[in-house]
Chains A and B, each alone.
Chain A
Amino acid sequence: MTYVYAFLFCGLVCMISQLILDNTKLTPGHVTSLFVVIGAFLDIFGIYDKIVLYCGAGAIIPITSFGHLLVHGAMDVASELGPLGLAFGIFDLTSAGISVAIVMAFIIALVLKPKH
């Protein structure tokens, strides 16, 4: 059943973003920023955790989960250290994704030539 929920949630998020792109003058940059903020906002009230529970990876791969993971890392440390923990823990869970993306982008830029 998780597969069906994963399909529905991921499809719905992509469709909403496409509708925003088609019907307004916002660019993909605006929409991804907006979705990260929405993900962080939903996670503050624990809503995104519930979505991840039901939709599995379907809720992990959209960019909304980036905001969710930032909040999680920050709040986990903040629960021990107080407000200072926000600064210490914010990249705890997203560091893998960001660092791999940086290294891959660098290697590929070194090895390959841009296609036009």
Chain B
Amino acid sequence: MQKQEYKKIVDNNTPKENYLKNAIITFIAGGILGALSELLLRGYMLWLDLPRKESGVLVILTLIIIASILTGFGIFDVLVTKLKSALIIPITGFAHSMTSAALEYKHEGLVLGIGANIFKLAGTVILYGVVSVYFFGLIRLLVMGG
């Protein structure tokens, strides 16, 4: 069989993802998550009498804790298949990647399993974040004068 024919058959048989439906679902789910976080932010500012900046950090911490617990019980993966990147792009995805990596390599031991693999996926976020900040920061300090 020709390679191109084979590729055609494969293309015809792979399930088509509905891009438009995915986009709308992620827009609405991501939006609801954003609006709920804003509600939580206002709540923290009101109840705990904290400034806006600290309340923002508390909102991030709340989402991280919830995402880690849901990942531990296997609920997060079910939600991700439905809501897709609406849960991966917010900070919940960062917590999810760390918890799932730690759980997955647990059987290899505390140090070589959990310890060596916990940053397996989250490490790329930290790596490129730090490198880009050094790069952009130096440009701003040297070229734009701080």
Residue numbers of A with Cβ under 8 A of B are: 2-4, 6-15, 17-19, 21-23, 28-29, 31-33, 35-37, 40-41, 44, 55-58, 60-63, 65-67, 70-71, 74-75, 78-79, 82-83, 86, 90, 93, 96-98, 100-102, 104-106, 108-115
Q: Of A21, A58, A82, which is within 8 A of B85 by CB? A: A21
* Residue pair B68, A74 in contact (C-beta under 8 Å): no
Q: Of A4, A14, A71, which is within 8 A of B26 by CB? A: A14
Kindly provide the distance from the CB of A59 to the nearest chain B CB, expressed in whole angstroms: 8
| A-contacting residues, B47-83, CB 8 Å | 56-57, 59-61, 63-65, 68-69, 71-74, 77
Q: Which residues of B contact A9 (CB under 8 A)?
A: 34
| Given A57-B59, A109-B106: A36 in contact with B19 (beta carbons within 8 A) | no
Kindly provide the distance from the CB of A103 to the nearest chain B CB, expressed in whole angstroms: 9
* Residue pair A90, B141 in contact (C-beta under 8 Å): no
Kindly provide the distance from the CB of B52 to the nearest chain A CB, expressed in whole angstroms: 9
Chain A minimum-CB-distance residue to B129: A36
For the complex of A and B, the 3 pairs showing the least CB-CB separation, nearest first, are: A10-B34, A14-B30, A11-B31
Q: Of A18, A90, A105, which is within 8 A of B102 by CB? A: A105
In the bound complex, how far is the Cα of B25 from the Cα of A40, in angstroms? 27
